[in-house]
Every structure is written in C-alpha cells, then in structure tokens.
C-alpha cells in the first residue's frame, strides 16, 4: 500500500470552504434553538470561520448567503476577512424566503416575478465583484406539490431563459454553479431534481456554468460516487456541498453517518482529477453546507473539515497501480481488498504528527476546547440579535 509519507505532500493546500450559516442558529421545521456565543453580525460569523481555519489550516474561505449576510460595504468585509486570514468564497442566492416566490422564482409564470429573482442574482454578482468571489451558487426551492399544478415543461423553458440572463452578467473569471435536490420543499416535482437536469441546464449556458453536488440531495441508496465520476468525466463538476444525511436533507456533519461513502466520493474525485493538490488544473470547489442545531457550531465545523481531510488521506492511500492491475486481471476480491485496505487505515496519528510539522495543533478539537475562544464569545456576544435563517 502507498505510505503516509508518500501522500503527505498532497494534503498540503487542501481547501474546504465553510458556510457562514453554519455559525448562526438553525433548526428543523419545528424549532430553532439559540445558543450562547452565536454571532450577531456577518463580521462575527467571519471571525468564527477564521477560527476554524486557524485551528485546522483547512478552511481558508467562507461562503456567504444573500440576504442573510447583507452588509453595506463588501470591500470592507473582504478586507476584514483578509486581516483574519481568510477570503470570501462562494456567494449563495436565496429565492426561497419571499412571498412572491410561493409558486416559483426563476420558473414563475409571471415575468415580473422572474425578473425580480433575476435582479436578486444580479445583486449577488455585484457582491461577488466586491468580494472577489469566483462562484455564484444557485439552489432553487421550486417545483409543485400536485399533479397538474404546473406546466413542468414550461417551467424548464423559463428556467433556461432566466439562467441565461444571469449567466450573461458574469465576468470571464466567474462561474455559476447549479445545485440539484431530489425533493423538498416541493414534494410532487422539483424543477432541478437531479444531476442530469442540472447538467442539461448548465451545459446550455457555457463553460463557466457547472453542477453543484450536495451530498445530501439524493434518494437513499444512490451511488453518489458514480455521479461524481460521471460529472468529472463530462468536465461539469463545479463544486460540492458536503454534509451528511440519514433520512433526507439532514445537513449533518460530513462523514458522520457514512465515512465510507465520503471515502468513496473522494476517491472518485482524486481519480477524476478533481482534487486540486494532485491536479492544479482542477477547479472543483469543496464546500460544506451544514447546520449545527444541537452541537456547538465551531467544533462542529472543525470536526467536519477534519473528517474531509481524514477521508482524503485514506483515499490517497489507495495503491492505484495495484488496483488497476487487479481490475484489469479480473481479480474481483483482490481489487476490493486493495480499496478496503486504504479505507481501514487509521491515519489519525500520522495526520496529528503532520499537522505539528505545519505549526498546527495535533488535535484541533482539543486545542479549540482549551483555547478559551468559546468562553470568550459566550461572554462577549451578549445582547443584539443572534444570526439565523432570516
């Protein structure tokens, strides 16, 4: 098997974007629990994201959500993030919290409503121009609840037109990533339910339009790594929203419920040239899309990026030459054994030692717990309105 020393250089430069909303209060449809120390401002969210990076070296960018992260001066926010050692990453639009969008936004039958949703995306692009963000991420809550309720074909046509107008506004170094989700909040049909629909829509736009794969947005049992392989093969995998699901779109800590699935996904990313440290041409963005409803948010994010790093190290350990030889000679169980040997390798002691050589804490979870940061924010962030979903 490949050794840790051989793969260590490829861990260098791994970058996972963290979402601003992970630091705010969140919950289920039933209850949002507040917690001490929750940010009241966008700056406080950025400070928490920068803390995750300081303890792990893995999270150099924070992804924002408009309008949850509206500020007057994005140039100043960009500078503030820079002072804390992070940059502003992907900008996420929101077409799911306005009364006008009850029956759709980019797909709505009313041209005025569609234009309002397009204008919102123009506003997001203005933000990107100020923050230096590369990616505009679009997730649409659109669809219908009852057969016959909407013209599902007409909605696709309107979506294509709206996306084209938004795409035309991007500059040459910006990208549009279109996320798919198989159901929810619409339950009968969803306008972008699967990778095929997202692919079809972005392929019609151009080279700078790509698919965003949220790991939680598939039916149970879906072979997600196959979708990864397929999109990379087509040159259309733009980004990941990493999280973990158990029943639906649970937005839990990535790698928590099924670390083996995360390993298989990352193996295909590396195999397909989507892992930047081993392929500098890759532009696949690794992002988290998570909420921490009952656990502390900053440790939740630290655990998440460490899980991704851990499964990346294990996936890099797969002896690819031996695997190919076994595959080509039809050695079914031999190939499976090579794959599993890497998965079952506990890389945690090696990673801890490696972190120390990089000036990082061997155990970022413990270092954070002992740092006093949590106590400090709980003492300082009193009064004001805690950040949340709106």
Interaction site with ligand AOS (CB under 6 A): 21, 65, 92, 139, 179, 181, 214, 241, 249, 289
Least separation, in Å, of the C-beta of 388 and Zn ion?
17
167 interface partner picked from ligand AOS, Zn ion, none, CB below 5 to 8 A per type: none
Using the minimum distance from each CB to Zn ion, give the nearer residue, 107 or 243.
243
Q: What is the DSSP string of 243-302?
A: -B-SSSS--B-TTSS-HHHHHHHHHHHHHTT--TTT-TT---EEEE----SSS-HHHHHH
Which residue in the block uniquely carries the two structure tokens 């791994």? 14
Work out how close the CB of 245 gets to ligand AOS at its nearest, in angstroms, rounded to a whole number: 10
Q: State in angstroms the smallest separation of the CB of 7 from ligand AOS.
A: 30
For residue 366, give every residue at least 6 positions away whose Cβ sits within 8 Å of its Cβ, in sequence order, or none. none
Give the nearest distance from C-beta 56 to ligand AOS in angstroms.
22
Q: Decide whether 243 or 312 has the Cβ nearer to Zn ion.
A: 243
Six-digit token string for 122: 């123009």
The listed partner (Zn ion, ligand AOS, none) that binds 249, CB under 5 to 8 Å by sort, is ligand AOS
Q: Which is nearer to ligand AOS, 100 or 331 (CB)?
A: 100
CB of residue 141 to ligand AOS, shortest distance in Å: 8
DSSP assignments along 24-87, one per residue: S--B-SS-B---TT--SSHHHHHHHHHHHHHHHS---EEEEETTTT--S-HHHHHHHHHHTT-E
Residues that bind Zn ion (CB under 5 A): 214, 241, 289
What angle, 0 to 180 degrees and rounded to 10, lies between the N-to-C axes of helices 42-56 and 364-371?
A: 130
Closest CB to ligand AOS among residues 76, 248: 248
Backbone angles phi, psi at 31, to 5 degrees: -165, 140
Choose between 85 and 196: whose C-beta lies nearer to Zn ion: 196
CB of 307 to Zn ion, least distance (A): 17
> Tokens for 183?
């159901």
181 binds, among ligand AOS, Zn ion, none (CB under 5 to 8 A by kind): ligand AOS
Q: Which is nearer to ligand AOS, 179 or 268 (CB)?
A: 179
Q: Which residues make beta-bridge pairs with 288? A: 242
Terminal Cα distance for the chain, rounded: 49
Alpha carbon distance 359, 362 (integer Å): 9
Query: Cα–chain-centroid distance for residue 58?
Result: 14
Residues 228 and 272: beta-carbon distance below 8 Å: yes
For residue 108, report the phi and psi dihedrals to the nearest 5 degrees: -60, 145
Nearer of residues 17 and 214 to ligand AOS, judged by Cβ = 214
Asked whether 232 and 268 are in contact (CB, 8 A), the reply is yes
What does 331 interact with, of Zn ion, ligand AOS, none (CB < 5 to 8 A by kind)? none
Tokens 């050794």 belong to: 3
Residue for token digits 């009852």? Answer: 146
Alpha carbon distance 369, 303 (integer Å) = 12
108: number of Cβ within 10 Å: 24
β-strands 285-288, 237-242 pairing = parallel
Write the DSSP string, 174-194.
-EEEEE--SSSS-SSEESS-S
Instruction: Select the residue whose beta carbon is closest to ligand AOS and give its number.
Output: 139
Q: Taking the complex as a whole, how short is the minimal distance between the CB of residue 81 and ligand AOS, in angstroms?
A: 19
For residues 59 and 351, which CB has a smaller minimum distance to ligand AOS in the complex?
59
The smaller minimum CB distance to Zn ion, of residues 19 and 104, is found at: 19
Q: Minimal distance in Å, beta carbon 227 to Zn ion?
A: 15
Smallest gap, in angstroms, from Cβ of residue 382 to Zn ion?
32
DSSP state for residue 96 in the 8-state scheme = S
């Amino acid at each position: 098997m490949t050794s840790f020393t051989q793969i260590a250089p490829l861990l260098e430069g791994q970058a996972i974007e963290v979402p601003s909303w992970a630091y705010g209060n969140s919950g289920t449809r039933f209850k949002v629990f507040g917690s001490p120390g929750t940010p009241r401002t966008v700056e406080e969210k950025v400070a928490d994201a920068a803390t995750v990076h300081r303890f792990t070296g893995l999270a150099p960018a924070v992804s924002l959500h408009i309008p949850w992260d509206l500020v007057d001066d994005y140039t100043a926010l960009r500078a503030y993030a820079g002072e804390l050692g992070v940059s502003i990453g992907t900008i996420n639009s929101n077409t799911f919290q306005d009364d006008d969008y009850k029956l759709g936004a980019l797909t709505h039958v009313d041209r005025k409503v569609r234009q309002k949703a397009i204008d919102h995306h123009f506003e997001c692009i203005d933000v990107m121009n100020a923050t230096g963000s590369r990616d505009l991420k679009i997730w649409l809550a659109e669809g219908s609840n009852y057969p016959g309720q909407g013209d599902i074909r007409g909605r696709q046509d309107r979506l294509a037109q709206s996306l084209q107008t938004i795409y035309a506004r991007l500059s040459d170094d910006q990208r549009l990533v279109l996320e798919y989700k198989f159901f929810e909040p619409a339950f009968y049909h969803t306008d972008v339910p699967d990778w095929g629909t997202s692919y079809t829509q972005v392929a019609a736009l151009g080279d700078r339009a790509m698919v965003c794969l949220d790991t939680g947005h598939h039916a149970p049992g879906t072979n997600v790594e196959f979708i990864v392989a397929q999109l990379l093969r087509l040159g259309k995998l733009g980004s990941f929203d990493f999280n973990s699901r158990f029943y639906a779109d649970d937005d839990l800590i990535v790698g928590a419920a099924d670390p083996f699935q995360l390993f298989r996904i990352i193996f295909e990313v590396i195999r397909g040239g989507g892992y930047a440290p081993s392929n500098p041409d890759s532009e696949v963005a690794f992002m988290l899309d998570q909420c921490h409803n009952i656990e502390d948010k900053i440790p939740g994010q630290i655990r998440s990026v460490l899980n991704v790093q851990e499964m990346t190290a294990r996936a890099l350990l797969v002896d690819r030459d031996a695997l190919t030889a076994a595959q080509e000679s039809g050695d079914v169980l031999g190939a499976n054994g090579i794959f599993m040997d890497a998965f079952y390798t506990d890389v945690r002691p090696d990673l801890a030692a490696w972190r120390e050589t990089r000036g990082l804490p061997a155990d970022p979870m413990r270092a954070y717990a002992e740092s006093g940061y949590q106590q400090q924010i709980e003492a300082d962030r009193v009064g004001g309105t805690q950040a949340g979903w709106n």
